[in-house]
Amino acid sequence: MITAQDDDSALLADGFEQTAALLDLLLWSGPTSMIPTREAVMKWRATLIARGPEFASLVTECDEWLRPNKGAQDEVQL
């Protein structure tokens, strides 16, 4: 488990399914105490790109999280 936002070791070591579950927790469903910084997500994104095309969908998840005004746009569509 990533315990600090600058620690991306779990994103380097785990397989796709474990990495996807961890990223989902950190980006979307974790407690407010686990909300990452923009810089941390950018670092995770770079790590996932380096892991290769198998992780492309997870890079897209990071891109979605990094998208400006993500919350405001989502609310308008509801």
Place of tokens 């810089």: 39
Better-predicted residue by pLDDT, 69 or 74: 69
Please state, in angstroms and as integers, the Cα–Cα distance from residue 21 to each residue in 17, 55, 68, 73, following that order: 6, 12, 23, 25
Q: What is the mean pLDDT of the chain?
A: 82
Q: What is the pLDDT of residue 7?
A: 63
Better-predicted residue by pLDDT, 13 or 42: 42
Residues 36, 22, 33: CA angle, nearest 5 degrees: 35
Does the structure show a pLDDT above 70 at 56?
yes
Position 24 confidence tier, pLDDT thresholds 50, 70, 90: very high
Domain boundaries, the chain: 9-77
Place of tokens 């686990």: 34
Does the structure show a pLDDT above 70 at 74?
no
Q: How many C-beta atoms surround the C-beta of residue 71 within 10 A?
A: 8
